[in-house]
């Protein structure tokens, strides 16, 4: 599966978090209202892996999800809007949450989009960064 891509998707846990996704078993990722983040959603393919990142208060990676359906129109948005969603399902929680502070303190992640474009809610993750973050999280890549 060399063509698999990796992503990080931010969510405010007070709105809807990892435990909600696990309880639901699957969901669509809605509410993205930034053109660059939406473009990243459109690049996702079925089978891609994503970190779920709890933003705001926690600022940490908490789990791994799989994209189960590529981008389609966001059912929560106005018709004819440019906004899209992807379907995701939970794969596994991390053993050890990886905090933004740890990521910023590690020179290997200086060019990670999470660090460079901190306000973007959906960002790509390189295969090398994915492996390193999984190792920090105590899970197999």
CB 134 within 8 A of CB 95: no
For 113, phi and psi rounded to 5 degrees? -60, -30
Distance between CA atoms of residues 48 and 4, nearest Å = 5
Distance between CA atoms of residues 12 and 53, nearest Å = 8
What are the residue ranges spanned by the domains of the chain? Answer: 6-137
Distance between CA atoms of residues 73 and 58, nearest Å = 29
Fold classified for 6-137: ph1033 like fold (3.10.590)
Q: What is the pLDDT of residues 82-132, one digit of tens each?
A: 999 999 999 999 999 999 999 999 999 999 999 998 889 999 999 999 999
Distance between CA atoms of residues 119 and 125, nearest Å = 15
Helix, strand, coil abundance in the chain, percent, nearest 5: 30, 35, 40
pLDDT at position 2 is 52
| Mean of pLDDT over the chain | 95
């Amino acid at each position: 599966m060399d063509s698999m891509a990796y992503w990080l998707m931010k969510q405010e846990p007070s709105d809807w978090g990892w435990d909600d996704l696990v309880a639901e078993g699957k969901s669509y990722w809605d509410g993205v209202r930034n053109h660059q983040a939406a473009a990243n959603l459109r690049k996702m393919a079925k089978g891609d892996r994503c970190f779920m990142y709890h933003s705001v208060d926690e600022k940490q990676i908490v789990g791994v999800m799989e994209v189960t359906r590529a981008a389609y129109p966001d059912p929560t948005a106005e018709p004819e809007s440019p906004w899209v969603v992807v379907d995701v399902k939970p794969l596994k929680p991390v053993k050890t949450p990886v905090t933004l502070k740890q990521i910023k303190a590690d020179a290997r992640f200086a060019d990670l989009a999470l660090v460079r474009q901190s306000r973007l809610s959906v960002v790509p993750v390189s295969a090398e960064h994915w492996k390193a973050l999984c190792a920090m999280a105590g899970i197999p890549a």
